[in-house]
Amino acid sequence: MQLNLSTIQWKIDPFTAADNKGGTFFEESSFATLFPKYREKYLREVWGAVTRALDNHGVACTLDLVHGSMSVRTTRKTYDPYIILKARDMVKLLARGVTVAQAVKILDDNMACDIIKIGNLVRNKERFVKRRQRIIGPDGSTLKAIELLTQCYVLVQGSTVSVMGPYKSLKEVRRIVLDCMKNIHPIYRIKELMIRRELAKDPKLATESWDRFLPAFRKRHLKTSEKTAKKNERQATKAEARAAAGIEPEKKKEKKVYTPFPPPQQPRKVDLQLESGEYFLKPREREAKEAQKRKEKQMEVASQRQAERAGAYVAPVEEAAPTVEEKRKRKRHAEDGQEKKTKKTRATDEPSADAAETKKKKKKHRQEEDD
């Protein structure tokens, strides 16, 4: 006899009081968690709704405002042995900034939660804030895409990321968040999830590998040898371009000679005082000496400032207007220069005219000889 697995529907029935054959619990179980100061006002307002939600499952809860903690415990009315763990998760979510309307959903059997700690993954605070913002995206678009693809509720708060949803999707969200904090953008995982969702719709691909459809993103992290090779190539092309343009090549920086010995130790402030003899002065004498140094420095700075201010009032050097005699001399020089230029042009023109006449005479003489 063969069973058709496709016809079998695996249904998980809800746990009721009739399923608890053992009756009341032998011992009381309890969990407590702390909450930050800024959540105190909100929790005080909504604590009635929390107690009503937990009373339906026979779980008691207390809010301690003095110590800043919330606690849940089982009672004689509790029939589900696993509900105390669900109540613990609910209290944790409330402490991490999740609203009551959303946190109550964790009490369902098909809902789970995961609180991902991201505070210790990045040391630099500015880098941590940038990468955490990457999870949210511009106007929360990246976070919305993650929620739609994984069917989860995601809340980024402080140094934690609270996630609520089915068990399978929690793993995907955890992977996206941790990769994002390792400097891998969430868009790569989102793209992969979108392709997987489309492939899941085709029943023919249920037994096949999806690797050929999924994108294989190359790592951009290069080895040191690859980096140096690329750097040498760039430098060679740059040198060729400079040589073609006729520009002198760049001067290479001289490397310092490596020595295994450390640099000489610099003298301490006390050593300098011992050398100058200031160390042996009395406190009053030392103070008087320091005051004298300060006064000299102030005088020097004041004199510099005074000189700068006085520079604005120094009259500029003015050129005197030329006299009548100077004007006549300049006019004579100009006229003499023009006469010299005209003489030179005439001298160059005369030999050119003589040369033309000699050429004509030679031409006539040749013609007569030919005749």
| pLDDT tens for each residue of 11-63 | 777 888 888 887 888 889 999 999 999 999 999 999 999 999 999 999 999 99
**What mean pLDDT is predicted for residues 279-285?**
87
pLDDT for res 61? 94
| pLDDT tens for each residue of 82-134 | 999 999 999 999 999 999 999 999 999 889 999 999 999 999 999 999 999 99
Q: For Cα atoms 76, 80, 85, give the angle at the middle one, nearest 5 degrees.
A: 100
Sheet holding 30-34, edge to edge: 30-34, 69-74, 59-64
Domains for the chain: give ranges and CATH numbers.
Answer: 16-106 (3.30.1370.10), 110-212 (3.30.1370.10), 270-296 (no CATH)
Instruction: Kindly state the tokens that stand for 351.
Output: 């030999």
- Please report which confidence band the pLDDT of residue 175 belongs to, taking 50, 70 and 90 as the band edges: very high
Does pLDDT of 294 surpass 90? yes
- Please report which confidence band the pLDDT of residue 259 belongs to, taking 50, 70 and 90 as the band edges: confident
Does pLDDT of 138 surpass 80? yes
- Please report which confidence band the pLDDT of residue 8 belongs to, taking 50, 70 and 90 as the band edges: very low
Question: Which of 44, 27, 36 has the alpha carbon at shortest distance from 84?
Answer: 27
pLDDT for res 248? 79
Does pLDDT of 371 surpass 80? no
Contact (Cβ atoms closer than 8 angstroms) between residue 155 and residue 201: no
Q: Distance between alpha carbon 335 and the CA centroid of its chain, in Å?
A: 75
**What mean pLDDT is predicted for residues 145-162?**
93
In sign, the C-alpha dihedral spanning 203, 208, 209, 210 is negative
Does pLDDT of 1 surpass 70? no
Task: Tell the residue number behind the tokens 């006019």, with chain if given.
Answer: 331
* 58: CB partners within 8 A, 6+ apart: 74, 75, 76, 77, 78, 79, 80, 83
Q: What Å distances lie between residue 123 and 19, 52, 116, 178, 185, CA to CA?
A: 50, 42, 17, 14, 18
Does pLDDT of 356 surpass 80? no
pLDDT for res 103? 94
pLDDT for res 7? 45
Classify strands 30-34 and 69-74 as parallel, antiparallel or unpaired: antiparallel
In sign, the C-alpha dihedral spanning 143, 148, 149, 151 is positive
* DSSP state, residue 81: T
Does pLDDT of 267 surpass 60? yes
Contact (Cβ atoms closer than 8 angstroms) between residue 221 and residue 197: no
* 155: CB partners within 8 A, 6+ apart: 96, 97, 98, 161, 162, 163
pLDDT for res 223? 73
Question: Which of 162, 189, 177 has the alpha carbon at shortest distance from 128?
Answer: 177
Does pLDDT of 3 surpass 50? no
**What mean pLDDT is predicted for residues 188-210?**
84
Q: For Cα atoms 122, 167, 89, give the angle at the middle one, nearest 5 degrees.
A: 70
Cβ neighbours around 163 below 10 Å, total: 25
Judged by average pLDDT, the poorest of 174-183, 197-206, 349-358 is: 349-358
The full length of the chain comes to: 371
**What mean pLDDT is predicted for residues 287-309?**
92
